[in-house]
Amino acid sequence: MAIQWYPGHMTSARKKAGETLAMADVVVEVLDARLPQASSNPMIHELRTFRQRPCLKLLNKADLADPVATKAWMEYFEQQPGVKAVAISCKKASDVARIPGLAQKLAPHRCDAVKPLRLMIMGIPNVGKSTLMNALVKKKVAAVGDQPAVTKSQQRIDISSRLTIYDTPGMLWPKIDHPIDGLMLAASHAVGVNAYIDEEVATFLAGFLLDHYPALLTARYGFATAGMDAVAVLEGVAKKRGCILKGRGGELDLEKAAAILLVDYRSGALGRISLETPSLRAERARQLAEMPATPPEEV
């Protein structure tokens, strides 16, 4: 299943972001620490590269991610020119308080009331940009919700005479080339619910957890995972959580079980999980490159 989601407002948001970036000094890109590369919009990279702007990459929701994987991603991003990476939780005031100082180091020439530091907050939907904005300003200036694309318009906020912030709507890109990226984004609630089927995304997630975090499945749901496949995991969740279809002779409700698994992953109830590492991503890219090209459909 190829997951694609690009609502109409994102086209105008991209155009507006390109215009505003001409005035910004540093791009603050908010990523999901559980899937840092998959949640990095290539259009943001193109825009800031064209304007030659440095980037502070915030691996948000680090408290939900595997710390070993997060460390590997930090090292990976730090090797890129003009990039500083930091793992944070936007819900922690002490983490947010570090951001202006880190950004300042990327633009040392913008350091006073005559030349205030201008930050542009960017990222895909539902990675925590609005939560970050509210924490930086220390009051509610951006709508926060557990749905992607809550913010649909850009705003400028002067925090002080030395710091200005531009908040932008969450932007995806028109075509997600790698199917696994689409599945990871859906599992992490970064795309609209109409763009995917819960059961298919949960099946992907179950298979990944079997391969990389089987102990967390056992700890959460109380069943041994030996010999299971992804569908069997969903069946196990259904049995443990009493997901039974009414009037169907005890048939398991896998759709409900899928929703439970996804919510448990998204909330962190399953534990600290990362869906990709630099080495795993490189391996997936290699496998994708070796796949035979899909012939075009006949009209």
pLDDT at 29: 96
DSSP bridge pairs for 167: 121, 155
Number of folded domains that form the chain: 2
Strand order in the sheet with 83-87: 83-87, 55-60, 26-32, 117-123, 163-167, 155-160
Task: Please give the residue range of the domain that contains residue 64.
Answer: 9-167
pLDDT the model gives residue 242: 95
Q: What is the Cα–Cα distance from 29 to 26, expressed in whole angstroms?
A: 9
Task: Determine if the pTM surpasses 0.85.
Answer: yes
Same domain flag for 132 and 210: no
Residues 211 and 281 reside in one and the same domain:
yes
Helix axes 278-290, 67-78, angle to 10 degrees: 80
- Residue 271 and residue 152 in one domain: no
Structure tokens that stand for 281 in this block: 């991503």
Query: 49 and 163, same structural domain?
Result: yes
- Of 167, 184, 214, the residue at which a domain comes to its end is 167
43 and 151 in a single domain? The answer is yes
Measure the N-to-C terminal CA separation of the chain; round to a whole number of Å.
20
Return mean pLDDT, the chain.
88
23 and 142, same domain (yes or no): yes
Specify if 254 maps to a domain.
yes
Note the pLDDT tens digit of each residue in 132-144. 988 888 877 665 5
173 Cβ contact list (under 8 Å, min separation 6): 6, 41, 42, 43
191 inside domain:
no
Provide the pairing of β-strand 155-160 with 163-167: antiparallel
Same-domain pairing of 138 and 248: no
For position 204, what pLDDT does the model report?
Answer: 97
Write down the pLDDT at residue 149.
45
Beta bridge partners of 27: 55, 120
Q: Is residue 179 part of a domain?
A: no
Q: Are residues 234 and 142 in the same domain?
A: no
Residues 155 and 32 in one domain: yes
Pair 100, 213 in one domain: no
Whole-Å CA distances, 275 to 178, 213, 236? 14, 10, 21
Q: What pLDDT score does 299 carry?
A: 42
Percent of the chain with pLDDT over 70: 89
Instruction: Provide the CATH number for the domain around residue 273.
Output: 1.10.1580.10
Answer yes or no: do 83 and 215 share one domain: no
Same domain for 21 and 154, yes or no, is yes
**Per DSSP, what are the bridge partners of residue 83?**
55
Is 187 inside a domain boundary?
A: no
**Confidence check: pLDDT of 115 > 90:** no
pLDDT band at 152 (very low <50, low <70, confident <90, very high): low
Neighbours of 40 (CB within 10 A): 20
d(CA 179, CA 162): 43
Could you report the per-residue pLDDT of 47-68, keeping only the tens digit for each? Answer: 899 889 999 999 999 999 999 9
Whether 264 is in a domain gets the answer: yes
- 176 within a domain of the structure (yes/no): no
Single residue among 149, 167, 185 that ends a domain in this structure:
167
Higher pLDDT, 167 or 94: 94
- Find the CATH number of the domain harbouring 36: 3.40.50.300
Instruction: Place 295 in a pLDDT band, splitting at 50, 70 and 90.
Output: low
Domain boundary among 126, 147, 167: 167
Q: Residue 227 falls within a domain, yes or no?
A: yes
Average pLDDT over residues 244-270: 94
Residue at 220 is within a domain: yes
Tens of pLDDT, residue by residue over 177-220, are: 788 999 999 999 998 888 899 999 999 999 999 999 999 999 99
